[in-house]
Structure 1
Amino acid sequence: MGFPKEGDTIQIHSYKHNGQLHRIWNETTILRATKLSIIGANDRTTVTESDGRTWVTREPAICYFHANQWFNVIGMLRDDGVYYYCNISSPFALDDEAIKYIDYDLDVKVFPDMTYNILDEDEYADHKVAMNYPKVIDGILKAHLNTLLHWIHQRKGPFAPEFIDMWYERYLYYSK
């Protein structure tokens, strides 16, 4: 398949460090795909959990994946502003099936005023032991958490003021 083209749809697959499938987003529209980054969007897409339960996303979301960063960012468009959910994760991989990454538990929720909360530190500590995260991975993840927080403070990349609006407009074009 190579890189998907703008307007194509693809799944997103999240895995855990032990290789277990964690979560699948059924359909995401590609807005931009290069070797360095992929930007996609979805709205009311079905999400399947590892135990088979399903749910449907509630609002439009712009998804940002980077080949050199150990995090991905989902900007969710809500009535009161853009909320971001950031996963500390491996850089993305792409194959004929999906955009794929390893979810390393730590998350950052960013509010419309750009304040944030770091989430799931207990889950990270538990999985670090249970799945035997190597020290080098632990160091990479902590460094990239700091990079992510810097991006938030600096309004860089997907946190830039016009980023989500610009890509949402592109999504609306493809969803007609």
Structure 2
Amino acid sequence: MTDGQQTVRVVYTKYDGSLHWNQYATALGEDEHGVWLGCRAGNTAQRGFEPPITYDHAFVLLFPRDAWWTAVFNAAPARTEIYCDISTVPTWRDGVVTMVDLDLDVVRRRDGSLYIDDEDEFAEHRVRYGYPTEVVENAERAARSLMRSIGERAEPFAGGYREWLSLVQ
């Protein structure tokens, strides 16, 4: 527990079950978009079992219900404003949220540029891990939908996340 709020462990794995990005965050609340967690500047995260990295900025994470993606909304000075991981639908159990990272990422930089990242990694891992057709279709559909929503500045990507971000800055 931190400041009377629940601490949640965030765990991304790869399709083979190996540990990917993982960290702890503070539960902030829920709204129509999903569950919001927050991290203050100085928070750490690890990729697998590599040494932890320390963030120089605050950020909030969004875990929508029944969607094949998660989102990170970064405070300045981070160059990336919004970073969406295409993943399996997050599952919650005993203070841990877990999902499989499916490689594709939708990114909006602070300058407004928007793109899909890691399509090459998605293609490689699709073969290496044998992603089923349903997984591939859901991942590609989620990436297209996010490109549209973020590009059109639909909520929560228009700025509604800033209220949540203010809770950790």
**Which residue matches 2:35?**
38
Residue deviations 1:26-80 (CA, integer Å, cap 9, x gap): x211111479721111022221221332211221001111122111110111148
Q: Does 1:119 align with 2:127?
A: no
Deviates more, 1:39-48 or 1:125-134: 39-48
State the number of aligned residues.
165
**Which residue matches 2:101?**
103
Q: Does 1:138 align with 2:110?
A: no
Higher percent of residues as helix: 1
Q: Distance between the aligned counterparts of 1:81 and 1:141, measured in 2?
A: 25
Structure 1: 5+ residue runs without aligned partners? 1-5
Which residue of 11, 14, 19 maps to 2:12? 14
State the TM-score, normalized to the length of structure 1. Answer: 0.84
**CA 1:133 to 1:35, structure 2 compared with 1: closer, same or farther past 3 Å?**
farther
State the TM-score, normalized to the length of structure 2. Answer: 0.87
- In the alignment, residue 59 of structure 2 is paired with which amino acid? A
**CA 1:36 to 1:19, structure 2 compared with 1: closer, same or farther past 3 Å?**
farther
Q: CA deviation at 1:97?
A: 4.2
Q: Distance between the aligned counterparts of 2:67 and 2:102, measured in 1?
A: 13
Aligned residues with identical type, % of pairs: 23
**CA 1:35 to 1:133, structure 2 compared with 1: closer, same or farther past 3 Å?**
farther
Ranked by relative contact order (alpha carbons within 8 Å, sequence separation 6 or more), the top structure is 2
- Residues 64-83 of structure 1: pairs in structure 2 closer than 5 A: 64-79=62-77, 83=81
Misfit runs of 4+, over 6 Å:
none
